[in-house]
Amino acid sequence: MKVEVFRVYGNETDIAEFARKSRNGGVSTVERNANLCKSLLVAEHGTPFEIASIVWDITAPRDVADQLLRYRHTTPNVMSLRVCAPPPVEECEPCERGWYQTCLNEYERRIAVGYSREEARKCLPLSTPTRFYWSTNIRELEHIFEQRIALAAQSDTRRIVEQMHREATKLFPNCFHSVVYHYEPLSGDLLESNVSRD
């Protein structure tokens, strides 16, 4: 599994200046912008956070991609197995490689006997590595973090989203509630903690 920031649009200054438009202006300084972003977050005034966004480059099992791509206020672009060959077995999670190789062999057998990629892909499992670009505005990210870092979330999804949270808070340090992570970055080792919100 992999999470990388592909591109960033906007910053905390843009969010603060966008918010000030509804307040008829104000002086912009780094400190005032940070405080305004924190105030907006606490008061749940979400609209200004929609002006900035992060485009992610994510590779995750198909079941994780399915969970993330269901959010309506995001824009996905998913690698299509209708036109691309499936990723090699080395890109699959280690615990899934045996089963994935079996399914990959069946996929290749189907291609060899004349199936189209679109038809052959039906035998591939949910553990198939899926690469996608995913554009998310800051407001929707906070919502995703709230739902997908919870202990009730699927562990693979939680690991991906925790990594996203780490990266997003580097870029927008005053725009997200803090959380306690359950995993080290993509390692899978459960930590003794629960989600906490400031």
| Residues 75 and 50 sit within 8 Å (Cβ to Cβ) | no
Residue 70 amino acid letter = R
Query: What is the reported pLDDT for 151?
Result: 84
The per-residue pLDDT for 136 is: 96
- Which residues have C-beta within 8 Å of that of residue 46, sequence separation ≥ 6? 40, 139, 142
pTM of the model: 0.83
| Contact by Cβ (8 Å): 62, 128 | yes
CB-neighbour burial class of residue 49 (10 A; exposed 0-12, middle 13-18, buried 19+):
buried
Per-residue model confidence as pLDDT tens digits over 156-180: 999 999 999 999 999 999 998 866 6
Domains of the chain: 2-76+130-171 (3.30.1360.170), 82-127 (no CATH)
* Pure H helices in the chain: 12-21, 30-42, 62-68, 97-112, 117-120, 138-148, 155-171
* pLDDT (mean) for 40-67: 93
pLDDT digits (tens, 9 = 90+) for 77-131: 999 998 899 999 999 989 999 999 999 999 999 999 999 999 999 999 999 999 9
Q: Is the pLDDT of residue 192 over 60?
A: no
3-class SS at 58? strand
| Model confidence band, residue 189 (pLDDT cutoffs 50, 70, 90) | very low
